Amino acid sequence: MKERLQKILSAAGVCSRRASETYITAGRITINGEMAQLGQQADPETDDIRVDGVPLGQKPEAVYLMLNKPRGYVTTVSDEQGRKTVMDLLTGIQTRVYPVGRLDRDSEGLLLLTNDGALTQRLLHPSHEVSKEYRVTVSGPVEHAAERLGRIRDVAGLPIRPAEVRQLSRQGNRAELSITIHEGRNRQIRRMCAQCDLEVLRLQRVREHCLELGTLPSGRWRYLTPAEIAALKDE
């Protein structure tokens, strides 16, 4: 019996019905060898439904990567404007993986990529308030900047938890700050700095949850260790 594809994917434990729309529009789902469309119906008993090329009901091996994203790359699988994406940096990876969250084009640093949909949803869900630490270089009125940034309670009209801000160094009208946030609103740190009349010169994510960027060179990636994977899943 034919059913809506979103319902089939949810029943198979692939993802939620809402998340399935993202899977479909991203081209991750095929039916009988053709790319699925939103609103399409299928029969799981007779149709060949695949997720990332893997038949429904068969799970591919989970892959977890950390990338040190450089400036100039967008955090998408493909880009209609022809810009460089983080996927261009993943040479040697056979399994298809997807970014967990985003870093804007001018930002850099730690980016997690995986094909583990359940972990992705858990890390991105606002209720988990996954902490993310950034190293930010700013210019402008930097005196007491850490205190002013720490007092911000909303970004673009949306409430946020207070950020944890420390001044790491200061020279003239420039300062290097450590900023830890818990939500991940769109361009949150850049908007916070703009509220304090600070210009962001460099923004680098150095930690997400239990993962630390460490000495991984810019533009390079590595597999997560078993201990890191276990810590990510142990919330």
Question: Which are the catalytic amino acids?
Answer: 104
**Rounded Cα distance, 150 and 181, in Å:** 10
Geometric angle at alpha carbon 106, from 187 and 104, rounded to 5°: 40
Cα separation, 60 vs 122, whole angstroms: 19
Contact 136, 34 (CB under 8 A): no
- As to burial, measured by CB atoms within 10 angstroms (0-12 exposed, 13-18 middle, 19+ buried), residue 90 is middle
Cα 94 to Cα 116: distance, rounded to the nearest angstrom: 15
CA–CA distances in Å: residue 60 to residues 50, 119, 224: 11, 14, 17
Dist CA 49 CA 42 (whole Å): 8
Burial category of 161 from C-beta neighbours within 10 Å (exposed 0-12, middle 13-18, buried 19 and up): exposed
How far apart are alpha carbons 104 and 76 in whole angstroms?
Answer: 10
The C-alpha atoms of residue 164 and residue 224 are separated, in whole angstroms, by 26
Residue 81, token pair as written in the block:
């404007």
